[in-house]
Amino acid sequence: MPGVVYKKKGGKVFPPDWTQIGYDNTPKSTLIGFDYAVDIKDTWDTSIVTHTERYRDNKVLMYFPKNIDTTNIQTADRMFQASNLESIDIDLSSARTATAVFTDCLNLRDAIVHGLGNPDAPAGTLNNIANMFSNCRSLVELDLNLTEYSTLLSAVNLCTDCWELKEFNYDGKSENIARISSLYNAFTNCYKMEKLTVKDDLCEWIGCYAVGSQTANGCLFDIDIGSTSPNGTQATFRKAKIKDGSYIAIKKTTTAQDMFRECIIEPTSIIVVNPTSINASYMFMDSTIKQRNFDASVNVSNANGMFKNADFENANSQIDTLIHFENNTSFNETFYNCNIKTINAFNNRTFANVTTFNNMFYDAKNLDDDTLNNLLLALTTASSYTGTKTLATLGFTDSTVYPLSRFQALSNWTAFTTAGWSYN
């Protein structure tokens, strides 16, 4: 390298000339792996196409040469698994199978993988990159260069337990690149993720458990998946920390159960859609919601525990009318111990199909009079409900917060009692 004086030390040149293996600068860590990397370069045989587990559990391997031709590799399953690899820049454009390539590489800090999904790969279709970086706990920077290809890739557990990973970007909507069918558990426990972009109409699964939970401001999500997926799309963001300005659209889904449970949610646009209404039980249970106007566009068929124990931090917080309850049949504990103040989702169609209301508002003590008044009117249209028609059934049992006199003062009280409802 320019400006470096190389001297013989114990029969070797010191410091090593990292350009021999394609590095511009000395890597951040120890020099121990340099000689081994030179040996790899000097003995690399492009006629060998199968590299399954070739360097698995290799504790001498720390650096892989960047200046060798790896486009011959057709089988790369578990090629570097559990090695001491610290950095990789590799072309896998001929790979037909590439699962768990770097799994358990605990020292891997940065990775660039070129050519995945190459339509001209000689060995056939690449359709699975599952577990490629799972349990790479030191990985900070990752760049997957997907090439044009029509066959769907499964990326199950792609970056599971990548604790330090900062950013991941994949846009199959606007870029002419390989398409991903599944990211099931792909980002589970990516605690320090700061930005996650995934867009693909064909993607059926995304797993983001605890993503961004150990960052100062959370992860900025830009998620738009599933509108033309062959099957129902599923997603989980449980325990994630969702940054202000995020956009999350999960389309053609069959269920939103637990989807945002125990999350911290800054002002965010959340869209969960399906041709028919979906199961939204426990969807926001135990979450902390930091925005005043909570807009979540979702058509609900089951609202059991949907906002149970949810903490709306803004004193004037409200749920907007984008929550559609018209097809919902069950409201058991929907707002149980929830401190929401205003709910704008109640109208003359809200309770048309409801069969059960058990403890819908139990220990929810902050509801304003407008919400209570709209609730009374909506209950008069609960034609499918055959249970006990009392406010006590809905959980209004604290007479210090919700005395009979408070309800009697509301304009819809007469209509409410005329429809056969009572206080207790």
Q: Rounded mean pLDDT of 325-333?
A: 94
250 strand-pairing partners: 225, 272
Tokens representing 27?
A: 């890597």
Q: How many CB atoms lie within 10 A of CB 150?
A: 9
Residue-averaged pLDDT of the chain: 91
- Among 67-81, 163-177, 377-391, name the one with the lowest average pLDDT: 163-177
Percent of the chain with pLDDT strictly greater than 90: 73
Whether 44 is in a domain gets the answer: no
- Model confidence pTM above 0.85: yes
What pLDDT was estimated at residue 306? 96
Q: State the Cα–Cα distance between residues 208 and 153, nearest whole angstrom.
A: 18
* Tokens found for residue 267: 């002002």
Average pLDDT of span 58-71: 94
Residue 296 lies in a domain: yes
The amino acid present at 10, given as its one-letter code, is G
pLDDT tens profile 39-57: 999 999 999 999 999 999 9
DSSP letters, 21-80, are GT-SS--SS-STTHHHHHHHHHH--TT--B-TTTTTT-SS--B--SSS--TT--B-TTTT
Write out the residue range of the structural domain in which residue 294 sits: 288-302+309-424
| 3-state SS, one letter per residue, for 240-256 | CEECCCEEEEECCECEC
The predicted pLDDT at position 34 comes to 87
CB 93 within 8 A of CB 118: yes
Locus of tokens 């410091």: 15
- How many structural domains compose the chain? 1
Across 297-315, average pLDDT: 92
SS3 label, residue 404: helix
Rounded Cα gap, residues 198 and 207, in angstroms? 11
Residue 371 lies in a domain: yes
CA distance 160 to 185: 6
Residue with more model confidence, 140 or 30:
140
Q: Is the pLDDT at 293 greater than 90, yes or no?
A: no
Residue 69 lies in a domain: no
The answer to whether residue 424 sits within a structural domain is: yes
Residue 7 has pLDDT above 60, yes or no: no
The per-type count for the chain, helices as H runs and strands as E runs, is 4, 24
pLDDT tens-digit map of 221-269:
999 999 988 888 999 999 999 999 999 999 998 899 999 999 999 988 8
How far apart are alpha carbons 236 and 292 in whole angstroms? 23
Tell me the CA distances in angstroms from 44 to 37, 59, 69, 126, 186, one per residue in order.
10, 19, 8, 24, 32
**pLDDT given for residue 118 in this prediction:** 83
- The answer to whether residue 349 is domain-embedded is yes
Phi, psi of 131 (to 5 degrees): 60, 20
Contact at 8 Å (CB) between 233 and 207? no
56-60, 146-150, 377-381: range with lowest mean pLDDT: 146-150
Q: Is residue 368 part of a domain?
A: yes
DSSP secondary structure code for residue 19 in this structure: G
Q: Is residue 396 part of a domain?
A: yes
